[in-house]
Amino acid sequence: MFKNLGKIIFMIELGFKYKKIFKETYFHPFITLKEGYKALSKARGEYSNKVLDFLNINVKLIGELPKEDKILYAINHRSLLDIIVMENIFSRYEKNGTWIAKQELFEDPIYGKFFEYSGCIAVDLENKRGLLNFFKTIKKIFSKVDDMNLYMFPEGERFKGEGIHKFQSGAQKIAKANNLSIVPVYIKGKNEEVFKNAPYAKPYTVEVYVGNIISHENLEEKYLEFYNSIKG
């Protein structure tokens, strides 16, 4: 009980601290879009690394992120820990990018502003006008930020079953509309339980597999080929 309470208090306090840091950049009147996303990417990495240090969780990367940018990273999703784990990896490579997240996350009374100010881009799949504005926003960002990357969970929501849940169409459409290559990423393990049992007395390692660059055509099929090649 006290273990979980300490974890919650730490993350809430750290979250409020970084929400203020994010907000300063988000509303900065003179910063360019490129500088803003770079600053927010760095701050998200710092936040995530501090959380992982507190939880005593290490991240082992199998494979390498490509040097080039303008890439959509397609990542499986099972846990609240997934974003934190991936931000650790992106910070190692000093990647400039942001997450695509469902609109309802931005409406959460506790975490909504944290996601908004950290640079995440909201998408409302049920609203046609919202979808049009979303694609316009993405197009504008890539026209002004030459080292931008997008991070996305193509499954659309956390999947607690075995294997990979059916992909939604969003990732493939975004990659096609913006001429983005895709890198498949697989976070191994039941990380909802990993997060629940943290912090650890001895370091716990989460493994993350990164595949080669692929095109957007038949994304789900290509991702499954990648997954089948490493699941054993």
Which domain does 152 fall in, by range? 2-230
* C-alpha distance across the termini of the chain, in Å: 35
Q: Compute the distance between CA of residue 207 and CA of residue 59 in angstroms, rounded to an integer.
A: 6
Task: Give 10's pLDDT tier (boundaries 50, 70, 90).
Answer: very high
Q: How many domains does the chain have?
A: 1
Task: Give 4's pLDDT tier (boundaries 50, 70, 90).
Answer: confident
Q: What is the pTM of this model?
A: 0.94
CATH of the domain at 39: 3.40.1130
What mean pLDDT is predicted for residues 205-224?
95
Helices and strands of the chain, counted as H and E runs? 9, 7
Q: Which of 38-52, 66-80, 155-169, 171-185 has the lowest mean pLDDT?
A: 155-169
Residue 40: which residues within 8 A CB-CB, separation 6 or more? 22, 25, 26, 98, 118, 119
Residue with structure tokens 């409406």? 107
Reported as a single tens digit per residue, the pLDDT across 116-161 is: 999 999 988 777 787 888 999 999 999 999 999 999 999 888 777 7
Reported as a single tens digit per residue, the pLDDT across 183-199 is: 999 999 888 999 999 99
Tell me, what amino acid is at 78?
R
pLDDT given for residue 3 in this prediction: 66
* Short-list 225, 181, 170, 209, CA closest to 67: 181
Task: Give 169's pLDDT tier (boundaries 50, 70, 90).
Answer: confident
